[in-house]
Each structure stands twice: as structure tokens, then as C-alpha cells.
């Protein structure tokens, strides 16, 4: 455990040395700016009770999408260089020459990367809720479980990227991570177009894609937790019709199992790699 802790600490220090906190600060400004723009838009019709009721809720729902995006990108950025870049620069050899197991290196990197990514994602989520409260006048604490699911986004994409980083170069790791995110994202438009145009082929493709990178399992959970504040007209949109079946507990279990298997594969592949 001491070796894993030391590697995680070194990973966090390297993150700070690379000044990624600057990206975190810019993302924080973007979150606050997003809420400010929404508030500015709502102020145009300040006497319309429908607008004043709907805009804060939509701002919170879309704001969580912004947080999910920033959290996933942060985790992918950190994980892509955690092993591949350090091997290319020769920095990781200083650790590998010591009596440390390869799986301890992977676990230490995984903990270090996700600690920074999760702390930032949590901070952006709190900042979003506080900004909505200050500018819109409502806290929406009844949706508190949705941010907990949002925290799994950086865990999912950070783990997957770290796995790529154990056998690929830095450039290939980034490319594979982007492709994986694209595959996961494609389920939503395929399912929506399948519903609108009644195309079974698209629906079947969407059903198969969801197992490759289970991002939309999480998305269904976030939407389910946010449904208590979703405007009625929005509930009738394609966004919600595409996921009209409530998510089951097994879907979260599948995501946790997926993450555990990918992490185990990362440790196995790195232990077999000739470095």
C-alpha cells in the first residue's frame, strides 16, 4: 500500500507541476459564465412566471452536462500521459527500477489521476449549484443524487484512457480515447433518430453500442435523478423519449464491473509489457 500511496502522491505532484489547475480555473469560470448567460437570458422576460420557473431548472440540467464534459476531459487528459508520456520521456524508469510491482504503478497512477479529476468535478458541481442558487434563487437540493452519478464519468473515461496508456504511445492513447468517447456519444443520436423515423436498425445499433463504453447507462441515471425538476414540455422531447424506460440497478452495477475489469486489464497488460 505504501508504494501505491507514494506513486499516487508523485502523480498528484506532477499534475500540479504541469499547472493543470489553470485549466481547472478556466473551467470554473466557464461554469459560472454559463449560469450568468442563462440568468441574463431569463431577465429579458423578467415578468413571465413560466420563464422564471423553467430557465433555472434547464440551466441546472444543462450545467451538469457541462460539468460531465469537463470532468471527463480532465480525467482523459491526465490519464493519457500518466504512463505513455512518462515512458516516452524516460521518467517512469526511475520507478520501474525500484522493487515495485507493475500493478502497484497502475493503481498508484489511477488513484493520483482520479483524485485530481474527481476533486475538480466535485468543485465544479458545487460551484454550479451555488451559482444557480445565487443567480436564480433556487438550490434544487432534491436533485442531490444526480451529481453523485456525474462523478462516475471521469472515473469511467479516466480508467479507459489509463488502460490505453499502458500499451500505446501518447498520440495513439489520445486517439483511442477520443474514438471511445465518440462511440459512447453516438448511442444518443442513433436512438433518437431511430425513434423519430421508426428505424429498427438504428435502434438495434444503439442497443449494441451501449455495451462498448457504458456512458449512457450513467446518463440515464442522471436524467432519472433530475426528472423531479424537468419541465413537463421537456419530458415530452426526444431527449427523454429516447430513455423512457427507467434505469435499473444492474446498469450501475454494469458500469462498476466495467471499470473494475478495465483497471484489471490495465494492470495485466502493463505487467506483460516489455519496458
| Nearest CA-CA partner of 219 in 177, 196, 185 | 185
Coil vs helix vs strand at 169: coil
Whole-number Å distance between alpha carbons of 254 and 210: 11
Higher pLDDT, 237 or 166: 166
Instruction: Work out the pLDDT band at 84, boundaries 50, 70, 90.
Output: confident
| pLDDT confidence of residue 128 | 95
| pLDDT confidence of residue 251 | 82
Sorted by sequence, the CB contacts under 8 Å of residue 30 that are 6+ apart come out as 66, 70
Whole-number Å distance between alpha carbons of 5 and 7: 6
| pLDDT confidence of residue 244 | 57
| pLDDT confidence of residue 254 | 92
pLDDT digits (tens, 9 = 90+) for 90-146: 777 777 777 888 899 999 999 999 999 999 999 999 999 999 999 988 888 889 999
| Nearest CA-CA partner of 210 in 177, 187, 179 | 187
| pLDDT confidence of residue 240 | 59
Whole-number Å distance between alpha carbons of 66 and 220: 16
For residue 232, pLDDT over 60 is answered with yes
Q: Picking from 107-116, 183-192, 243-252, which range would have the lowest pLDDT averaged per residue? A: 243-252
| pLDDT confidence of residue 241 | 57
Instruction: Work out the pLDDT band at 261, boundaries 50, 70, 90.
Output: very high
For residue 257, pLDDT over 90 is answered with yes
In percent, the amount of the chain with pLDDT more than 70 equals: 95
For residue 258, pLDDT over 90 is answered with yes
Helix (H), strand (E) counts: the chain: 14, 0
| pLDDT confidence of residue 238 | 57
For residue 274, pLDDT over 90 is answered with no
Instruction: Work out the pLDDT band at 167, boundaries 50, 70, 90.
Output: very high
Binning the chain into helix, strand and coil, the percentages to the nearest 5 are: 80, 0, 20
Higher pLDDT, 154 or 52: 154
Query: What global pTM score does this model have?
Result: 0.89
- Output the average pLDDT for the chain: 87
Amino acid at each position: 500500500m505504501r508504494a501505491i500511496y507514494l506513486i499516487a502522491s508523485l502523480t498528484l505532484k506532477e499534475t500540479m507541476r504541469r499547472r493543470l489547475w489553470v485549466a481547472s480555473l478556466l473551467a470554473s469560470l466557464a461554469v459560472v459564465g454559463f449560469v450568468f448567460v442563462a440568468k441574463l437570458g431569463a431577465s429579458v422576460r423578467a415578468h413571465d412566471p413560466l420563464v422564471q420557473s423553467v430557465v433555472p431548472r434547464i440551466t441546472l440540467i444543462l450545467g451538469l452536462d457541462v460539468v460531465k464534459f469537463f470532468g471527463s476531459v480532465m480525467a482523459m487528459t491526465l490519464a493519457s500521459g500518466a504512463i505513455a508520456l512518462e515512458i516516452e520521456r524516460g521518467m517512469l524508469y526511475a520507478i520501474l527500477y525500484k522493487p515495485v510491482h507493475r500493478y502497484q504503478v497502475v493503481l498508484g497512477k489511477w488513484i493520483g489521476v482520479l483524485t485530481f479529476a474527481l476533486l475538480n468535478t466535485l468543485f465544479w458541481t458545487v460551484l454550479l449549484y451555488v451559482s444557480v442558487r445565487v443567480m436564480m434563487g433556487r438550490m434544487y437540493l432534491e436533485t442531490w443524487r444526480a451529481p453523485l452519478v456525474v462523478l462516475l464519468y471521469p472515473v469511467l473515461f479516466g480508467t479507459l484512457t489509463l488502460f490505453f496508456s499502458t500499451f500505446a504511445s501518447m498520440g495513439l492513447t489520445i486517439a483511442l480515447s477520443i474514438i471511445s468517447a465518440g462511440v459512447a456519444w453516438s448511442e444518443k443520436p442513433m436512438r433518437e433518430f431511430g425513434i423519430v423515423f421508426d428505424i429498427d436498425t438504428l435502434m438495434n445499433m444503439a442497443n449494441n453500442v451501449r455495451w462498448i463504453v457504458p456512458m449512457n447507462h450513467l446518463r440515464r441515471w442522471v436524467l432519472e435523478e433530475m426528472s423531479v425538476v424537468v419541465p413537463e414540455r421537456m419530458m415530452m422531447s426526444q431527449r427523454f423519449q429516447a430513455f423512457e424506460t427507467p434505469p435499473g440497478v444492474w446498469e450501475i452495477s454494469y458500469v462498476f464491473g466495467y471499470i473494475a475489469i478495465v483497471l484489471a486489464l490495465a494492470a495485466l497488460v502493463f505487467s506483460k509489457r516489455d519496458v
